[in-house]
Amino acid sequence: MNSPYLTEEHEMLRAQVRRFVQEEIVPYGDQWEKDGETPRSLIRKMGELGMLGVRFPEKLGGSGMDVLSWIILAEELGHSTYGGVTTTIMVSTAMAAPHLVNAGTEEQLKKYAPGIISGDLLCAIGVSEPDAGSDVGALRTNARRDGDDWILNGTKLYITNGSNADLVFVAARTDPKATGARGVSMFIVEKGMPGFSVARRLSKMGDHCNETAELVFDDCRVPAANLLGEEGRGFYATMQNFQGERLVVAAMAMGEALTALQLTLDYTRIRKTFGLPLIERQVVRQKLAMLHAKVEAGRQFLYHTAWLDSQGMNPIQQVSMCKAYCCEVVNEVMYACQQFHGGFGYMRESKIERMVRDARLHAIGGGATEVMLDEVAKRWDEQIY
């Protein structure tokens, strides 16, 4: 991609991840779809190659790169056509781990960061609940102080990596009198802590090589040392991390959309109807051309917004626009690409069939499109230019 925002280091990362995807993911993804999860061996290989620590500070063993490195990582993993693999990796390293990096104490960073960077520790975010998805202020999971511990009670639902995660960064209300955004704190909950259990693994429409779970905290005893960040400031920490998360989801969407277009272009060049390749039909090639233009517009907007974020500008409105636009476009692309694949596109042996199912999540996870558009609208002044 020609972009004024990318450095030689960015391009080297792209080449490295692209090679890795073709050698270590594409040949094995079908089996992982059947297994229902991405193997830890793959994640550890990525750790060995330094891919999981691109945004960790150098003093912690990372590369200290900017948010554009996440965009490249997510986009290139998206080219694999296995959305569940991308989700597993990006949720752990780019959506959950930043809670630790941004708010962790020196002791917490020393204890957990090396394992996350190496791929030995898989992370999840425990925010969504049965009655509180994108509405973080409505969560009901609570925590009360008991001596040197906190006691957590509640349920978390739709937790990506939930049943396999070694660490879950859990949002819980620590002030029972507070409502909305106030009185929410974050905790580091380790697998195996008393009172923490996986209620069930959930069956999903797509992302089959990623596992999603319902988590239960029943008088779960968490050491006070595992309070992450300032007590009562968990909502604001979550909102801060949502910015990077939403850019990453948009990048996943754009990587998948580009690959779907390439697969469809290849297919329509060889598939003939009534004596002509499909690509010779004006309606087909013009539709694909317009979709290509939309994807390119999304990518340019994505890279620009990520650059604004890397400059410390906190572009909340642009991030919300980008997340909404890119995740709607990828679904438009998938629908058209499946249509042009005809009956084959409806078969499980078709990559497009899997990609259609996987891509549907992007307009829901990390903030539904409707929530994103409200985030845009509430930042309008009387004029928008």
Check whether 311 has a pLDDT greater than 90. yes
Over the stretch 88-115, which tens digit does the pLDDT of each residue have?
A: 999 999 999 999 999 999 999 999 999 9
- Cβ-contact 96, 125 below 8 angstroms: yes
Mean pLDDT, to the nearest integer, of 194-211?
A: 96
Domains and CATH numbers, the chain: 8-122 (1.10.540.10), 124-231 (2.40.110.10), 235-377 (1.20.140.10)
Q: For residue range 217-260, list pLDDT tens digits in order.
A: 999 999 999 999 989 888 887 787 888 999 999 999 999 999 99
Give per-residue pLDDT as tens, 153-193: 999 999 999 999 999 999 999 998 887 778 899 999 999 99
Pairing of strands 227-228, 167-173: unpaired
- Cβ–Cβ contacts within 10 Å for residue 61, how many? 14
Three-state DSSP class for residue 146: strand
296 is catalytic: no
Report CA-CA distances (Å) from 229 to 16, 157, 211, 225, 234: 34, 23, 28, 10, 7
- Residue range 210-215: average pLDDT? 96
Choice among 214, 245, 256, 328 that is catalytic? 245
pLDDT one-digit tens code per residue, 348-368: 999 999 999 999 999 999 889
Write down the pLDDT at residue 1.
64
Q: What is the mean pLDDT of the chain?
A: 94
Q: What local confidence, expressed as pLDDT, does residue 117 receive? A: 97
Contact 331, 359 (CB under 8 A): yes
Tens digit of pLDDT for each residue in 68-77?
999 999 999 9
**pTM of the model as a whole:** 0.94
Share of the chain above pLDDT 90, in %: 87
* The residue count for the chain: 385
| pLDDT at residue 83, rounded to an integer | 97
Nearest alpha-carbon partner for 68 in 308, 254, 241, 326: 308
